[in-house]
Amino acid sequence: MEIAGPRVHFLSYQSAEQWAWAGAVTLAAELRRALEQRPRARLLLSGGSTPGPVYQALSRAPLEWSRIDVALVDERWLRPDDPDSNSHLVHATLLQDKAAAARFETLTRTGRSVEEAVAAANLHANQVPDAVVLGMGGDGHTASLFPGMIGLEQALASPTAYVAVDATGCPGSGPWPRRISLTPAGLEPSRMRLLLIRGEDKRRLLERAMDGTDPLELPIRLAFTTPGARLRVHWCP
């Protein structure tokens, strides 16, 4: 099924295998296009439990990975090798096989303060992303922008690409309330946006989100209300 709207292109896949393959093919095509036009390509990735199979499939794509910079949409304030960090997920799934040659930027580094980490992320963000992969939590969060979070309004309005957030009190942040997150300002310039979701609940939640526009209520809305590329959604049961 395909639901096309001016801001969202929703593509539904029958199986998890097709969904993972389609996500990888879409990202590989975008990266290949970027490498044809520029010396380096840039890919921003989300964490969570959903995107791993897409990253695994993408790791086998025959691309000139040594010219690709891989960085994160958001990170939990953990050591980069912590098994619960998004950095760990990207290492374990994408940075294998052919993609092991990519250059990876962690958001956190041992001995670095949050302020230093955010400043470094904002410096790297001067390089425009070719593709941003987003996820959506069951509470409607995306990146590390959680509904009801203190400072959400400021994060949504931030002129910088990355901010530090404290989502204490937001159940969706799990045991990791302190995080660094991409902002709408960081998403806006990306040449492509891909939202990877699975399951009926998330499909219904996205439909509800698409009925409104206020990202303070459902931050996922920033994925299609922020000016720039149209949001492409890949869904499977």
Ligand X SMILES: O=C(O)[C@H](O)[C@@H](O)[C@H](O)[C@H](O)COP(=O)(O)O
Q: How many other C-beta atoms lie within 10 A of the C-beta of residue 175?
A: 7
Binding site for ligand X (CB under 6 A): 46-50, 73-74, 76, 86, 135-137, 142-144
Q: Which CB atom, from 48 or from 189, has the smaller least distance to ligand X?
A: 48
Least Å distance, CB 34 to ligand X, is: 22
Nearest-angstrom CA–CA distance, 18 and 96: 21
Least Å distance, CB 227 to ligand X, is: 21
Least Å distance, CB 74 to ligand X, is: 5
Q: Which CB atom, from 49 or from 126, has the smaller least distance to ligand X?
A: 49
In sequence order, the 6+-apart residues with CB closer than 8 A to the CB of 47 are 72, 73, 74, 75, 76, 85, 86, 89, 90, 135
Q: Which CB atom, from 63 or from 182, has the smaller least distance to ligand X?
A: 182
Q: Which residue is nearest to ligand X (CB)?
A: 135
Nearest-angstrom CA–CA distance, 208 and 206: 5
Question: Which pairing describes strands 178-182 and 162-166: parallel, antiparallel, or unpaired?
Answer: antiparallel
Least Å distance, CB 142 to ligand X, is: 6
Q: Which CB atom, from 63 or from 117, has the smaller least distance to ligand X?
A: 117
Least Å distance, CB 36 to ligand X, is: 29
- Whether 234 and 15 have beta carbons less than 8 Å apart is answered as no
- Whether 89 and 99 have beta carbons less than 8 Å apart is answered as no
Q: Which CB atom, from 135 or from 186, has the smaller least distance to ligand X?
A: 135
